[in-house]
Amino acid sequence: MNDYLKKILRGLPINYESFVKKLPEAFRRRHREMFATEKVGANRWMVTVRDETGFAELQNVAEVPVSRVDAAKKGDSHRHGTEVSFLLVYHQGLTSSRPDVVVVGNESVDIGFRRGRSVLVVENERNFFQYSQMLNFVSEALGNRVTLAECDVVLGGGNRITRGAILEWLKGYEEVFCAFDYDAGGLQMYSTMTAFIGDKTSFVQPPDWQPWLYRFHKIPDSTERFTKAVSLAERLGFTSLKEAFRATGKFMEQEMILDE
């Protein structure tokens, strides 16, 4: 959005149709009152500001917020990441079934326990609660015994685990095991984590998906999502998972791991 506004101010042509699509709804309804246009080429328009006051309001809304509060003042707190995140963690020092909490800020981490050598990031809450069974699954997948004595278990909770400050904290572990849904979203999260953390990450999956095909039940939301999952599996070198997608035409949610 800011690129479009800067070009308008500099008198440069823009793709006006794309610009209008990116406008917040309140400004989109007023765009004919705010701007005059002249087509100068294929998908290119010269844009003149008619409503200077409205344009100033749009500049304020489009400006990148400096904090979550500033983003809320601009009408959408989600335009800025939170300055602090909370992670639920199971670790060897616990004396009950209640997980511990790690507070991760942009410049500091508040952790009240000594972390293990490795960490297992679990996407789903139910699987996180069944951490013993998930650790057994990791052990079978890797061919090495993995226990809570040396491996902490963290609740990933959707895309929160891919926030920069959290990824920076995870880099402190020697190994990062990722247990996500076997779909486009799960593979995208893993790809993001690998790009940031490096080759110490591992995507937890059976070495051979053939015996698991009957657990693929989730129908993809769209052909594009399915194609993206196949493409990501291929790019990440997960040949068996790619073939599982193609054989079933479906995804597998990680709750199926608990279906013994």
For 5-27, the pLDDT digits (tens) are 988 888 889 999 999 998 888 88
Fold of 84-258: Dna Topoisomerase Vi A Subunit; Chain: A, domain 2 (3.40.1360)
Q: Which residues contact 96 (CB under 8 A, 6 or more apart)?
A: none
Predicted local distance difference test score (pLDDT) of residue 260:
61
pLDDT averaged over every residue in the chain: 87
Please state the rounded mean pLDDT for residues 93-103. 91
Q: Which of 77, 133, 149, 173 is nearest to 259 (CA)?
A: 133
Give 28's DSSP letter: H
Predicted local distance difference test score (pLDDT) of residue 158:
66
State both tokens at 241: 């998972």
In the chain, where the domains are located: 2-79, 84-258
Predicted local distance difference test score (pLDDT) of residue 192:
84
Predicted local distance difference test score (pLDDT) of residue 222:
87
Following DSSP, what letter does each residue of 40-77 receive, concatenated? EETTEEEEEES-HHHHHHHHHHHSPPSSHHHHHHTT-G
Local confidence band at 146 (pLDDT 50, 70, 90 cut-offs)? very high
Q: Which residues contact 77 (CB under 8 A, 6 or more apart)?
A: 68, 69, 71
From residue 236, give the alpha-carbon distance in Å to each of 138, 194, 208, 231, 241: 19, 10, 16, 9, 10
